[in-house]
Amino acid sequence: MRNWTDLTWPAEDFSRVPFGVFQDRDVFEQEQERVFRGPIWCYLALEAEIPNPGDYKTAFIGDTSVVAVRGADGKISAFVNSCAHRGTQLVRSLHGNAKDFTCVYHHWCYDLEGNLIGVPFLRGLKGKGGMPRDFDLRAHGLKTLRVEGYNGVLFCSFHRGVEPLADYLDQPMRDYIDRLVPRPIEILGYMRQRIPGNWKLYLENIKDPNHAGLLHQFQTTFGLYRNTQQGASIFDKKRRHEIHYSTLDSDDPDDISEGYGGVSAFNAELKLQDTSVLDYEDEIGDNRAICMMSVFPNVMFQQLSNSLATRQVRPRSPGEFELYWTFFGFKDDSAKVREMRLRQINMVGPAGVVSMEDGEIGRLVQLGIRGERHRHSVLEMGGTGPIENQDTPLTEVPVRGFWRYYAELMGYTPMRSAAE
């Protein structure tokens, strides 16, 4: 019988992953409870997206619609986007500003903290109808989530017993968030895309530095990123988050010809008419032109040259997720750097000359594994065994870090079937 517990994890180091985890409906349902509503923090939004009292933004945590809103006192709260009366979706815009939230169905009204403050015809009319005398508005507020921020980056949790956010992020992630957000943010815009693949394929993709120097011909050919460059992947204690960075111009022509000889990802014949998209201003002074940070389970923070973004992963079904991109810069950006950030956005998003390939890969893997739920992927690049920091891009060890923590939350035990 098809059951989320019958999938096998035959390698203790998570170098084998059953294809069923990307396809099964019951795995997806378990993920909602054990991962997204489990004892973890999920990325919610940037504080700069809702700067004023009443500003709100909707998001999805797992497949649950939620609303982040700044209250009259400036404090940010989040609630499930579902009316306490009969469950109707309460907020229908992606973002906006409100004094309160009124449900379209029977007009129950909530304040910015999610408290129920009004029910039309509460006492009926002329002694008829209405709610019972003992109906208590205070007992029928919206379902709220915990919210905490780190350096202007907001996370939320369904779990009341979750550890403090700073501990969850751990080091080196907190330092790298500080590196990513050194100054007050200005939001530049949004993109959204639907990818016909399982949401975890995207987490695998962003924790796989090796693919970036092979799949993305634009990057390898024009030197933005190559597997011959110096790069590293570093982890928190639990290996659930990852930071990968690479250093521009750190490879020499001999390494490039040796590494990419005969590899079609590198095509010296290709030339750009306008190379301005490749311009890079080393704002931090460490020459790391690429720094990608993934925080388990639903976000990647992107620094690709001067293009900065958060990418929120929003599962919709076992075979589909939405990727929600928020592009940002800083309030004090020079005109030159702002222009560079905007131009470089052409490399990312649904149609970006680099990122479109990651969307297509989600589709191709989902297609390729169909009907093969008991087969396993092979994750041995960079070595098997312990999951330790890596000083090369030629690795998929970070992907195993993701699976190890995912399996812990899901209750999967490697090396034998949990159903045995």
Interaction site with ligand FES (CB under 6 A): 83, 85-86, 88, 103, 105-108
Binding-site partner at residue 45 among Fe ion, ligand FES, none, CB < 5 to 8 Å by type: none
By C-alpha distance, which of 54, 99, 103, 105 is closest to 81?
103
User: Please, what is the minimum distance in Å from the beta carbon of residue 59 to ligand FES?
Assistant: 20
**Residues 6+ away with beta carbon under 8 Å from 260:** 220, 226, 228, 266
CB atoms within 10 A of CB 136: 9
C-beta closer to Fe ion: residue 49 or 357:
357
Sheet holding 320-330, edge to edge: 185-195, 320-330, 307-317, 299-304, 288-295, 242-247, 231-235
Asked whether position 358 contacts Fe ion by CB under 5 A, the answer is yes
Of the listed pieces 149-157, 189-197, 353-361, 386-394, which binds Fe ion according to CB under 5 A?
A: 353-361
Q: Which two tokens stand for residue 91?
A: 């907020």
How far, in Å, CA of 80 to CA of 191, rounded? Answer: 23
Question: How many CB atoms within 10 Å of residue 89?
Answer: 15
User: Is 209 in a helix, a strand, or coil?
Assistant: helix
Q: CA angle 154-298-339, nearest 5°?
A: 70
State the minimum distance, in angstroms, from the CB of residue 118 to ligand FES: 10
With CB under 5 to 8 Å by kind, the binding choice for 86 among Fe ion, ligand FES, none is ligand FES
Which 20-39 residues touch Fe ion, going by CB under 5 A? none
DSSP code at position 390: B
Closest CA to 43 of 298, 292, 324, 326: 298
Minimum gap (Å) between residue 43 Cβ and ligand FES: 28
Comparing CB distances to ligand FES, the nearer of 85 and 194 is 85
Q: Retrieve residue 333's tokens.
A: 């950006």
Contact in structure between 122 and 135 (CB atoms under 8 Å): yes
| Nearer Cβ to ligand FES (139/335) | 139
Comparing CA positions, the residue from 193, 206, 197, 187 lying closest to residue 324 is: 193
The residue (of 86 and 192) whose beta carbon lies closer to ligand FES is 86
Stretch that binds Fe ion, among 98-106, 146-154, 345-353, 357-365 (CB under 5 A): 357-365
Nearest-approach distance from CB 119 to ligand FES, in angstroms? 8
The least CB distance from residue 304 to ligand FES, in Å, is: 42
- In the bound state with Fe ion, the residue whose beta carbon lies nearer, of 114 and 213, is 213
Smallest gap, in angstroms, from Cβ of residue 229 to ligand FES?
54
- Residue 358 binds which of ligand FES, Fe ion, none (CB < 5-8 A, kind-dependent): Fe ion
Q: Tell me how far, at minimum, the Cβ of 358 lies from Fe ion, in Å.
A: 4
**Strand 116-118's sheet: what is its strand order?**
101-102, 109-110, 116-118
Nearest CB to ligand FES, comparing residues 105 and 121: 105
Q: How far is the CB of 87 from ligand FES (least distance, A)?
A: 6
HSE-up of 289 (CA within 13 Å, CB side)? Answer: 17
What amino acid is encoded at 36 in this protein? Answer: F
107 versus 370: smaller Cβ distance to ligand FES: 107
Where would I find the beta strands (DSSP E) of 277-384? Answer: 288-295, 299-304, 307-317, 320-330, 376-378
Give the residue with the Cβ less far from ligand FES, 144 or 250. Answer: 144
Find which of Fe ion, ligand FES, none residue 103 binds, CB within 5 to 8 Å per kind. ligand FES
CB of 357 to Fe ion, least distance (A): 6
Count of residues that interact with Fe ion, criterion CB under 5 A: 2
Q: Token pair for residue 269?
A: 């014949």
**Partner whose binding site includes residue 108, from ligand FES, Fe ion, none (CB under 5 to 8 Å by kind):** ligand FES
Binding-site ranges for Fe ion (CB under 5 A): 212, 358
